[in-house]
Amino acid sequence: MTADETAPERETGLVDEPEVREALATADRGSLAAVVSEHPSSPLAWAELADLADSEGNAIASFAYASVAVDLAEEQLAASGWEPGAAVPWSDEPNRAYLRALDAKRRAASQLGLEQHVVTRLADELASADAEAPGRIASEFTPTQVITIVTPDLLFAQAEATATTGDQVAEPVALDAAGED
C-alpha cells in the first residue's frame, strides 16, 4: 500500500506465466517445441525456443522464434500501457522473456549477416528497455552449450590407452624441511 492507502500501480510489464515456467523447467531440449505448442501466445516459451536454436547454431530459426517472442511481448506490453522505447525493467521477472528475445534476435541478426543498422537497432532497443539487461543476459542466460557425454567405459578405455602408450612419469622427489633436495 502507498501512503494514501491505495494499492501501488504495477509497472507496465509482461504477465507472469507460472504454468509456462513450470513446463519449461521439466522440458528437455527435445520437448521444448511441445511447450510452445501448448502455450503459443507465451513470449517466454518462444524466447526459450530462440535460445535453443541459437545454442544449436541455427541462426535462421533463432531469428524467427525471437521475432515471434518480441512481437507477442510487445503486444502484451502495449496492452499494459507500454509504448515503444519505454523502460521494461529486468527486475520484473516476466519482462525477461522480452529482453532475452530482443537479445536473441540481435545475436541471430548478427550471425545471419543482416545489415549493421538492424543489429544496432536491436541492441539500442534492448539497452533502452533496460540498460543492465545486456550484461545480465550475457552472464545469466548464455546459450546452452552442447556437452559431450563421456561414459565410464569410454573414460576407462582412454585412460588405459594413455597408460600403455603414454610417456613414463618420473617419481616425485621428496623435499627436506628446508624445501631443498
Q: Are 97 and 44 in contact (CB under 8 A)?
A: yes
Give the residue carrying C-alpha cell 502484451. Answer: 76
Domain made up of 18-140: CATH architecture: Alpha Horseshoe (1.25)
- Does residue 176 have a pLDDT over 80? no
| Number of residues in the chain | 181
The reported pLDDT for the residue numbered 151 is 46
Q: CA–CA separation, 106 vs 14, rounded Å?
A: 20
Where are the domains positioned within the chain?
A: 18-140
pLDDT digits (tens, 9 = 90+) for 11-63: 679 999 999 999 999 998 899 999 999 999 999 999 999 999 999 999 999 99
Burial of 87 (0-12, 13-18, 19+ CB in 10 A): middle
The number of helices, as runs of H, and strands, as runs of E, in the chain is 8, 0
What is the average per-residue pLDDT within 91-120? Answer: 96
Nearest Cα to Cα of residue 90 among 45, 62, 131: 131
Decide if pLDDT at 122 tops 50.
yes
B/e letters for 19-32, b = 16+ CB within 10 Å, e = fewer, are: ebbebbeebeeeeb
Global model pTM greater than 0.85: no
Percent of the chain with pLDDT over 70: 71
67 burial level (CB within 10 Å; 0-12, 13-18, 19+): middle
